[in-house]
């Protein structure tokens, strides 16, 4: 996405991506009281946040392509392409850091989300080397609980899951700063079931 960043810091890039994605039409529908209507009009957008050889964080173009049976299964999805096409860089030098998407109803990371990032991590790298250190590839789900004075949904925070650490996290804005809460560690019991092992609450 040409008008996004680039950013020197992954946290700044995530914050900007959250605001941008949640500003899109029907990216957040929790305020709509009619649940059926909210489901029909809701849209899930997704993109890659990736790291380039010039030590910058960039975002791919957004897509809102969903699964054909979404409404039948009473859900919203977004099909994220596995690769980024950025002609400014060699495909071998692009490092995939965060698979971004919004959850229109503000729900946590789903089992399907976690399975998707595990599959994508097998295609790319489980841990990305950056100028700031090692960052595990992760899936991020942005959510909003409020709207701006212009009627746009505002970035309230995001859920994050990284296959390398198995940590499920929730980030929220507190007085303009990110606050992290560890929800637990994911233990897979099979390819379709998992257990969330709760630790003592951690925040920073």
- 127 three-class SS: strand
Nearest to 78 by CA among 51, 42, 32: 42
Question: What's the pLDDT at 15?
Answer: 94
Question: What's the pLDDT at 147?
Answer: 62
pLDDT grade for 204, boundaries at 50, 70 and 90: very low
Q: Does the structure show a pLDDT above 60 at 149?
A: no
pLDDT grade for 38, boundaries at 50, 70 and 90: very high
Question: What's the pLDDT at 178?
Answer: 87
Q: Does the structure show a pLDDT above 60 at 78?
A: yes
Quick: pLDDT tens for 126-141: 999 999 999 999 999 9
Quick: pLDDT tens for 6-34: 999 999 999 999 999 999 999 999 888 89
DSSP character for 93?
G
> Is it true that the peptide bond before 195 is cis, omega within 30 degrees of 0?
no
Structure tokens at 96: 């995939």
Q: Does the structure show a pLDDT above 70 at 202?
A: no
Question: What's the pLDDT at 192?
Answer: 86
Domain boundaries, the chain: 10-197
pLDDT grade for 153, boundaries at 50, 70 and 90: confident
Mean pLDDT for 68-89 is 92
Global pTM reads 0.91
CA distance 120 to 107: 22
Question: What's the pLDDT at 191?
Answer: 85
């Amino acid at each position: 996405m040409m008008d996004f960043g680039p950013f020197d810091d992954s946290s700044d890039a995530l914050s900007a991506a959250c605001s941008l994605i949640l500003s899109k039409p029907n990216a957040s529908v929790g305020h709509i009281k009619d649940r059926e209507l909210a489901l029909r009009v809701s849209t899930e957008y997704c993109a890659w946040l990736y790291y380039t050889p010039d030590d910058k964080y960039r975002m791919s173009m957004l897509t809102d392509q969903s699964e054909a049976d979404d409404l039948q299964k009473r859900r919203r999805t977004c099909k994220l392409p596995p690769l980024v096409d950025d002609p400014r860089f060699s495909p071998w030098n692009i490092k995939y850091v965060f698979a971004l998407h919004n959850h229109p109803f503000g729900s946590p990371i789903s089992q399907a989300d976690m399975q998707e990032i595990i599959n994508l991590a097998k295609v790319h790298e489980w841990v990305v080397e950056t100028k700031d250190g090692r960052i595990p590839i992760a899936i991020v789900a942005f959510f909003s609980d409020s709207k701006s004075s212009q009627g746009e949904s505002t970035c309230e925070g995001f859920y994050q899951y990284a296959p390398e650490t198995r940590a499920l996290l929730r980030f929220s804005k507190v007085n303009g700063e990110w606050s992290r809460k560890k929800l637990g560690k994911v233990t897979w019991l099979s390819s379709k079931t998992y257990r969330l092992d709760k630790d003592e609450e951690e925040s920073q």
